[in-house]
Amino acid sequence: MSRIISLIVCTLAGVIQPFLCAEDVAVEFRLAETHPRPGLRAVTVPGSREPVYLHQEVALADTDIASAQVVTGAKSVQVEFLFTPTGTKKLAKVTKTSVGRRLAILINGSAVSAPTIQAPIDSGRVVVSGLSSEREARRIVNSIHDNRKRSP
Query: Per-domain residue ranges for the chain?
Result: 25-150
Is the pLDDT at 131 greater than 70, yes or no?
yes
Class of domain 25-150: alpha beta
When pLDDT is averaged across residues 84-104 and rounded to a whole number, the result is 96
pLDDT value for 124: 95
| pLDDT tier at 149, thresholds 50, 70, 90 | low
Q: Residue 106 burial (CB < 10 Å; 0-12/13-18/19+)? A: buried
Query: What Rg do the C-alpha atoms of the chain give, in angstroms?
Result: 17
| C-beta of residue 103 within 8 angstroms of C-beta of residue 29 | yes
| pLDDT tier at 43, thresholds 50, 70, 90 | very high
| C-beta of residue 28 within 8 angstroms of C-beta of residue 57 | no
Rounded to 5 degrees, φ, ψ at 37 are -145, 155
Question: Please, what is the average pLDDT of the chain?
Answer: 79
| C-beta of residue 140 within 8 angstroms of C-beta of residue 107 | yes
